[in-house]
Amino acid sequence: MFGIRHRLAVACYQGWLRYYQWRNPQVRFGNNVRLKGLPIFAIAPSANVTIGNDVTFISHPAANLVGLSKRCSLAADSEARLAIGEGSGFSGVSIYCTTEIVIGQFLVCGGNVSIWDTDFHPLDYAARRRNDRGAIVRKPVRIGDDVFLGAQVIVLKGVQVGDRAVVAAGSVVTRDIPADEIWGGNPARFLKKTDQPRPAILENPPTA
């Protein structure tokens, strides 16, 4: 019985995705994008969104037992650019793009990660009173290939995270992280180098 319910749920999620693609041509999906639970997509008609092959979005708490507090949500404002590389996986992620967010290939996100390129509100109190949207600071975010963001990590505006970097659970990333480094804390700080040799399969990929 469980197997039947699971197959029906998967068919429902993939059907929803096909319908969303049909209604929202500004979002370009690669092959084999997988949904486990229904995400929230709030994509402006003039946004430019690309999701690569083999990307997974987990929004159902039973599909990730770390304890998801929310569904995956992707928001992109007018004229914003959001690009997600192939093979990346998300569980209860919150991505809010007002200018540009570029995520590389094979990103692994722990549960409830947030990636934002905006402060959402002005830092100046007078601008907040006036609801001055023009005073909000927005800066692009770039995340490299093979990055691992632990559960509850928050990546803030203007940050670049280098290839193969690791960010410890619960960290708040406020500045750039170089490639092949492990960072953690609030705000996140350098902890050590990863010191991991590149696997032979990546150095010498099989040929056809």
Q: What residues contact 47, with CB distance under 8 A and at least 6 apart?
A: 26, 27, 76, 77, 78, 79, 80, 81, 82, 97
Q: Tell me the three state secondary structure of residue 134.
A: helix
Measured CA to CA, the distance from residue 35 to residue 163 in angstroms comes to 26
Respond yes or no: is residue 60 known to be catalytic.
no
The one catalytic residue among 121, 138, 139, 142 = 121
Conformation bin of residue 130: beta by default, left when phi > 0, alpha when psi is -120 to 50: alpha
Among all residues, which ones are annotated catalytic?
A: 121
